Each structure stands twice: as C-alpha cells, then as structure tokens.
Amino acid sequence: MGTVIAFANQKGGVGKTTTAVNLGASIAESGPSVLLIDFDAQGNLSSSVGADRSAPGIYKVLSGEVAAVDAIQETPQPRMSIITGGADLTGASVELVNEERREYFLRDALKPVVDKFDFIFIDSPPSLGLLTLNAMVAANRVIVPLQCEYFALEGLTQLLQNIKRVQTSLNPDLELFGILFTMYDSRTRLANDVVQEVIGYFGKRVFRTIIPRNVRLSEAPSHGIPVNLYDPACVGARSYKKLSEEVLSRVKDQTAR
Ligand SMILES: Nc1ncnc2c1ncn2[C@@H]1O[C@H](COP(=O)(O)OP(=O)(O)OP(=O)(O)O)[C@@H](O)[C@H]1O
Ligand SMILES: [Mg+2]
C-alpha cells in the first residue's frame, strides 16, 4: 500500500488545500505518482488544478455509482491526478450517518486504486465530522497544517485527541506524520512565539520546513495550476519543494525501519 496522507484541521483556512495541491505537485515533479482526493464539499482542491467538477467525483464513488478508476482525472501536473469533490458531499455526511461501517466508506471506495499510486492525498473539510473521520480511517498518516497564530493552538488538542481515538478504535495504522506551519510571517513576534511553543511541545513531529505567507500561493488556484507551474521561482514554490524533500526522506526513513 502506498502512503495515504490525510490533511486535517477542523479550523478553516489554515492551508490544508494549499498544502495538498502544492506538496502533491512538488512530489509528482520529482518522480512519484500522486492521487489527490478532494473530500470537501467546497471543492477547492478540484478548482486548484482546474478539474472538471461536472464529471463524476468522489461522492459518486462512495455511493457505488462509479468505480474509483473511472473518476480519476489528470491534472496540469504530470504524474498527479485527482478525484474531484463538490457540493454533493454535503449530502454524503448525512446519508452515511445511519450506515453500518459508516467510517469505512472512503477506505473501501479507494481500495481498488491505493496500490496504483505512490501517494494518495486526502483533503478534508474544516470540521471533525464524518468526512474527516473517513479520511483518517482511509489514511495511514495525517498532516496537520497550523497557522502561526495564537488561536491555532486551541483546536489542536481536540484534533490530536480525535486522531488518538481513530488510532485505538478504527485505524491502528494511522500516525501523526507531522504538524506543518503555514502562512508564516517572520515579522510578527507572535508567529515566532507560536512556532517555538509548538516545537517545544511536539519536537520532531513538527516539519522543519515552514511555509511563509506568499501571495503567489493564493494566486495560483485561480489559474487552475499548482504554484510550481505558476511561478516556480517564488518563495512559496520553493518552500513546498523543500517540504516535499522532507516528506520523501521521512517516508524513506520510516519504510527502512
Ligand atoms: N502560505 C500562504 N500564503 C498566502 N496565502 C495562503 C497561503 N496558504 C494558503 N493561503 C490562502 O489562504 C486561504 C486558505 O487556504 P486553504 O484554502 O489552503 O485553507 P484550508 O485549510 O484548505 O481552508 P478550508 O478549511 O476552508 O478548506 C486561501 O485563499 C489560500 O489561497
Ligand atoms: Mg480546504
């Protein structure tokens, strides 16, 4: 089985989607294959790669109408594909509630494709609801993007408790892969304080790469391409490249163990 990473944080706008698309593109650029799953009704990840959102997406796969392989679309980044998400997912969380094995729908749906890709990235919505739970059950690692601000820490304890609960009851293979600082502004003292505090507490669980605030990262999605194709030299693209190297070397170390 490949490396299946869920991007999770119930706080909105912390960089989950931006990280999924740009880390994915940087990894694909260096060789491995990546499948993105847009597991958010907002469909931001799908738009970020200019995908056709009228074609069948992950909801149709969950409901069994379409096979996962038939929902895969190419993206502008070679070796990176996507299964789109969109508004129909809002219904999914309601419909699933009464199902037995409701936490396992995504895992089961992806089974036929997990071995076809080196990496599968699941972007989750800003909540700890059933969709995020499904993402954590389908994944073997979680990346938690964290904005460098005081309130960022408030939800973190709850999120980590949730990850633990999933580990003990639903998916023993799940690991906290790392906490990633995003939208960092070195000029603010608070950002530095937050980074130091989190590193002090979580140590090696924090990625050494920190993603700075960079306007190119917020512009790229409106062009439907990842930042490495939009402006490869910008600091945002370079940061995600560095993060991809860190992720690849961690995965290598962990498989060697
Ligand atoms: N490093 C960055 N520098 C500048 N802008 C950024 C950066 N990272 C993300 N953004 C912008 O911040 C906004 C929120 O980012 P993003 O959509 O990735 O967060 P999210 O956690 O996926 O949000 P949601 O919880 O709504 O799904 C977007 O407009 C995005 O373009
Ligand atoms: Mg998002």
The Cα–Cα gap between 5 and 1 comes to 12
Q: Which of 75, 48, 47, 73 lies closest to 60, judged by CA?
A: 73
What pLDDT does 154 receive? Answer: 79
Does ligand 1 lie within 6 Å of residue 3's CB atom? Answer: no
CB 103 within 8 A of CB 130: yes
pTM: 0.97
In ligand 1, which atom is closest to the CA atom of 219? 31
Does ligand 1 lie within 6 Å of residue 28's CB atom? Answer: no
What pLDDT does 92 receive? Answer: 82
Does ligand 1 lie within 6 Å of residue 13's CB atom? Answer: yes
**Atom 30 of ligand 1: nearest residue by CA position:** 218
What pLDDT does 190 receive? Answer: 85
Sketch out the chain's domains with CATH numbers: 3-249 (3.40.50.300)
Does ligand 1 lie within 6 Å of residue 2's CB atom? Answer: no
What pLDDT does 247 receive? Answer: 98
Q: What is the pLDDT of residues 219-236, one digit of tens each?
A: 999 999 999 999 999 999
CA of 256 to the centre of ligand 2 (A): 32
* Torsion sign (Cα): 3, 132, 204, 161: negative
What pLDDT does 212 receive? Answer: 96
Rg of the chain over Cα atoms, rounded to whole angstroms, equals: 17
- Which residues have CB under 8 Å from 143's CB, separation 6+? 5, 6, 7, 8, 19, 177, 178, 179, 180
What pLDDT does 93 receive? Answer: 76
The Cα–Cα gap between 54 and 241 comes to 31
Q: Which residues of the chain have pLDDT under 70?
A: none
What pLDDT does 241 receive? Answer: 98
User: What is the Cα 26 distance to its own chain's centre?
Assistant: 14
